[in-house]
Amino acid sequence: MSNKPRQWLTLKMLRCLVPVFLILAFLSVLLLVQQQNGISQLMNFQLWTRPYPEQKPCTEETAYPERVISFAPVKNTKTLLLSAYQEHRTNKKEVRVIAVVLRSEKAAYRCIFNCQEQQHISEGVSNIHKDHFRFPYGTADIMCPIPSGCVAPTHIAVVRSAANYSQGMTHHELLEIRNQKVQSDGFAFNFTVCFSTMFNFTNVLQLVQSLTMLELLGVNRVVIYKTDCSPETQRILDYYVCKGFVELIPWSLSKFINVSYGWLPEHGPGQIHYVGQIPALNDCLYRYMYKSRYVALNDMDELILPQTVNSWLELLPLLEKKYGVNKCYRFQNNVFPKDVVLPPPPSAATAPLPPLWKNLSGVNILDHLYQEPLTKESRYIQFKIIVNPRAVFSTSVHGVLSSQKGCVWVQREIARMYHTRDKRQPELKPGQLLFDGRLLSYSASLIQTVNAVLRENGLLPAEGKL
């Protein structure tokens, strides 16, 4: 066979292979782009915040001061002012004043602005939140339009419309106007969790476990509205405040009105739901609106755990992709009765629990790994949420009241909430509870960190002195 036919055959084969090479090259580039997009998405999420500054050694001089909230009564009304935030998402420039009001009182308000040491006045409009659980007092937003001549308001007073306000602002209680600048990126925190209305609190062990779990999940800040607690609890709170992980806000509503310690009037006498939980949650939402990428609203005994990944940093990109951004994400509530202690099945890998934990005040969440079965009634109640705070106007205990893009249910196979609490179905026998070992995947790090915190605060003996 001559060289010419052989060259012709080789050339023909190469021509046939060119489309194959092109297709393979295209697929390789496509795969590379998809991989890069996925990595980029995760990196972008992880780089939402700047590196958190290293804290100085914790002393009385370096500790973060408590942010005292002083309620401002509006004279000749039953209204208590909580805080003021500039609103940037409505058609007109206005300030939102979060307040506690007597729902039956028909009060009209005037807003007095301090602008460049000048006084400007507008009429306030009160919107009472629909969630009040039938208590006489509820949460309200008093919306105060910013007058055209007021360029940069710094403080605001709210008075009764019939009041004499000509004496100047010095005769009225002033609120600092926060959130004066809009921020859409470069947030100080990726995730902030709001714990509302801590009162009569002694559950030290579970508090340390919950704060440790939140750190493991990627949370940067926890905000606690505190009425009172045990000395041991205060020691732990001071530690986390000094560390920069907790912002502690003394909650003094009980000095002004008779608060209820129940969530319905029949569960506890008083004038407002659960020590004022709803106004505290709304304040937390606005306080961190331009500080935190996401805000979670849940209680200390509740943990939102992803099922397919290990942190919220990994979870939220999945939720954004599946359900859309700027949504309110709802997580199904699963009750783990705290009075039921059963050993995990032999197949579950467990780390040995420190025996000295039994001497501490509080619940050990690693003892309670069996949940009540979901029922038709319990499947969609008492859920908790993670939200983009800039997409929410008002919130309640379970879900938002007003938002830009509404809420979605997160499939329990992706993430769900673990609630270690009293039984909801007391008729169930232990054998009817369902084992869930998801928490055990965090147990090694959890135990190590909790032990370190307890030892550092003198609640466990030093290592080697057990």
User: Is the pLDDT at 191 greater than 60, yes or no?
Assistant: yes
Region 331-358: what's the mean pLDDT? 90
Amino acid 429: pLDDT:
94
Region 355-364: what's the mean pLDDT? 94
Amino acid 7: pLDDT:
55
Amino acid 15: pLDDT:
63
User: Is the pLDDT at 379 greater than 70, yes or no?
Assistant: yes
With tokens 């605001």, the residue in question is: 156
Q: Which of 156-165, 181-190, 268-277 has the lowest mean pLDDT?
A: 156-165
Over residues 282-330, the pLDDT tens digits come to 999 999 999 999 999 999 999 999 999 999 999 999 999 999 999 999 9
Would you place residue 331 in the very low, low, confident or very high pLDDT band (cuts 50, 70, 90)?
very high
Region 110-136: what's the mean pLDDT? 95
Region 439-456: what's the mean pLDDT? 97
Amino acid 26: pLDDT:
61
Over residues 148-159, the pLDDT tens digits come to 999 899 999 999
Region 252-260: what's the mean pLDDT? 96
Per-residue HEC secondary structure of the chain comes to: CCHHHHHHHHHHHHHHHHHHHHHHHHHHHHHHHHHHHHHHHHHHHHCCCCCCCCCCCCCCCCCCCCCCCCCEECCCCCCEEEEEEEECCCCCCEEEEEEEEECCCCCCEEEEEEECCEEEEEEEEEEECCCCCCCCEEEEEEEEECCCCCCCEEEEEEEECCCCCCCCHHHCCCEEEECCCCCCCCCCEEEEEEEEEECCECCHHHHHHHHHHHHHHCCCEEEEEECCECHHHHHHHHHHHHHCCEEEEECCHHHCCCECCCCCHHHCCCCEHHHCHHHHHHHHHHHCCCCEEEEEECCCCEEEEECCCCCHHHHHHHHHHHHCCCCEEEECEEEEECCCCCCCCCCCCCCCCCHHHHHCCCCCHHHCCEECCCCCCCCCCCCEEEECHHHEEEECCCCEEEECCCEEECCCCCEEEEEEECCCCCCCCHHHCEECCHHHHHHHHHHHHHHHHHHHCCCCCCCCCC
Over residues 1-52, the pLDDT tens digits come to 555 555 554 555 556 565 656 666 666 655 554 545 544 444 445 444 444 4
Residues 261-286 as b or e (16 or more Cβ within 10 Å = b): eeeeeeeeebbbbbbbbbbbbbbbbb
Percentage of the chain with pLDDT > 70? 82
User: Is the pLDDT at 392 greater than 70, yes or no?
Assistant: yes
Alpha-carbon span 249 to 244, nearest angstrom: 14
Amino acid 33: pLDDT:
46
What pTM does this model have? 0.87
Would you place residue 172 in the very low, low, confident or very high pLDDT band (cuts 50, 70, 90)?
confident
Domains located in the chain, CATH noted: 72-178 (2.60.40), 189-456 (3.90.550)
User: Is the pLDDT at 464 greater than 60, yes or no?
Assistant: no
Over residues 198-244, the pLDDT tens digits come to 999 999 999 999 999 999 999 999 999 999 999 999 999 999 999 99
User: Is the pLDDT at 459 greater than 90, yes or no?
Assistant: yes
Non-local CB neighbours of 123 within 8 Å, separated by 6+ positions: 108, 109, 110, 111, 145, 161
